[in-house]
Amino acid sequence: MISLDPVPHPIDALPAHGAAADIALIDRAGTLSFTELEALTGQAAAWLTARGLAPGDRVASWLPKTRMACVLPMAAPRAGLVHVPVNPMLKRGQVAHILADSGASLLITQSARAGTLEAGDVPADCRTVLEDEVTATDVMPPSVANPATLAAILYTSGSTGRPKGVMLSHANLWLGAISVAHYLKLTPADRVLGVLPLSFDYGQNQLFSTWAAGGGYAPLDYLTARDVVKAIERLEATTLAGVPPLWVQLLEADWPTETAARLKRLTNSGGALTPRMVRALRERFPDADLYPMYGLTEAFRSTYLDPSLVDANPDAMGRAIPFAEVMTVRADGTRAGSGEPGELVHAGPLVAQGYWRDAERTAQRFRTAPDWAESGGMAVWSGDTVVEDADGLFRFVGRDDEMIKSAGNRISPTEIEEAVLSGGEAAEAVALGVADPRLGQAILVVARAVGDAGDAESALRERLRRDLPSFMQPVRYEWREVLPRNANGKLDRAALKAEMTS
């Protein structure tokens, strides 16, 4: 077991704590030892340094889970640059926004992906290179950067508008890795199957926490649940992280008893597990410890529920993870009492540095911690309502913003509405999240058509299949002659949501 080291380090120098098998990465190309991983990271960093980029320049990567995609989160900060991972599921419109918003100087991708981009998608001052070109013989040593130095920008959708970039320092990433490796009790003997996107803080942390503990990480781009089952058997994986929709799929798959028994640890975030799902996972994987977790990109992760408490408290979020101070705060800023609803506020060294080039939204979400908090400085005011019970366990009550959480993704309704309206098939539109047993929430669009509603929907579905990634596709359309408005003349989103979810 690793020690819980509170001293932050540069993220590019994660140590292998006596890896018995000395296997850091297992992929289609074979395996990498920790020595080889260190060399590849140093070579990628040396290549980046030779590109003439200035310290702090942004390097974007738009890749599936290749070996280079696994190395860049450490190589870019080692070179004094800021890594901007782009979800491989995104389409050209979303990619263009992230490149422009981040001010990326370099995009590392593959030829097939680069071929989908159109003129103007890549800023004029951003070079595009293919991952195969990232080669060097020189090896750059680990950095000695100040742990407060910006290391990464992870893009997540806001409650309104386009995705916003969350700024993460070396210390944010390092302490998140140590925290998770500690409470998950990861060891050098563990093999972690990585099915989550590396652009997702949950997925990226799997890399860092696994390697911090000296374990082996196996990236997997999968199409079906059966692919995951086969990979667990082939790779002898001990640990699997997922979001609720994935667990639904996996529970419907056929599992050889021996394969299910290989898993010793299951972790969940990106949406709450239902009590029914908890019971099903416990039955299917009786030898695995189950770790329900709650997180938000702005502070990485706030709570986890110890496996020993899951059966008796299947609806609980758990307690604060190491290095996090989590509290329930009344509207007047005072501490909420036991069992009293309040806003979840997260303070401590895991709190991010704010939103990239967005002072207004940073000021809304990142505010000074309450005077009575043990941790001073900046805190994340989540907008989520929770209660803390007398036993010290937090429980989720509701989300104050209008975010749609589908298949583990936080989706801006405004971005969906803009996409729906951009083609002229609809005159007005409101996007809502409605309960769905597989997705958590499904996207419903209530709209007023231009012309025949049937023709409009057919054309709209065809266009959005080209313009939006699969997880942002509306599942259902509700067509109206008139959409309700509130006293201010705005579309009455609250009334529509109440109607659609009643």
Top CATH class, 405-501:
alpha beta
Tell me what the mean pLDDT of segment 481-502 comes to: 80
How many Å apart are CA 375 and CA 356, to the nearest integer?
A: 24
Residue 158: what pLDDT?
44
How many Å apart are CA 127 and CA 138, to the nearest integer?
A: 22
Residues 123-136 have pLDDT tens digits of 999 999 999 999 99
Q: In the chain, where does the domain assigned CATH 3.30.300.30 lie?
A: 405-501
The H or E element that residue 308 is part of is helix 307-310
Between residues 252 and 370, the one the model is more confident about: 370
pLDDT surpasses 90 at 293? yes
Alpha-carbon dihedral sign for residues 465, 468, 474, 479: negative
| CB-based burial label for 18 (10 Å; 0-12, 13-18, 19+) | exposed
Q: How confident is the model at residue 236 (pLDDT cuts 50, 70, 90)?
A: very high
Helix (H/G/I), strand (E/B), else coil: 304 = strand
Question: Which residues have a Cβ under 8 Å from the Cβ of 75 and sit 6 or more positions away?
Answer: 12, 41, 42, 44, 45, 48
C-alpha distance from residue 298 to each of 49, 56, 208, 250, 347 (Å): 29, 20, 18, 29, 11
Residues 362-417 have pLDDT tens digits of 999 999 999 999 998 999 999 998 999 999 999 988 766 677 889 888 788 888 98
Residue 204: what pLDDT?
96
pLDDT surpasses 90 at 102? yes
34-145 CATH fold: Rossmann fold (3.40.50)
Tell me what the mean pLDDT of segment 65-82 comes to: 98
Residues 294-338 have pLDDT tens digits of 999 999 999 999 999 999 999 899 999 999 999 999 999 999 999
**Alpha-carbon torsion, ordered 44, 110, 154, 402, to 10 deg:** -170
Residue 15: what pLDDT?
60
Q: In the chain, where does the domain assigned CATH 3.40.50.980 lie?
A: 34-145
Tell me what the mean pLDDT of segment 63-89 comes to: 97
Query: Is-contact 198 69, C-beta < 8 A?
Result: yes
Residue 1: what pLDDT?
40
| CB-based burial label for 395 (10 Å; 0-12, 13-18, 19+) | middle
Tell me what the mean pLDDT of segment 40-67 comes to: 97
Could you tell me the pTM of the whole model? Answer: 0.86
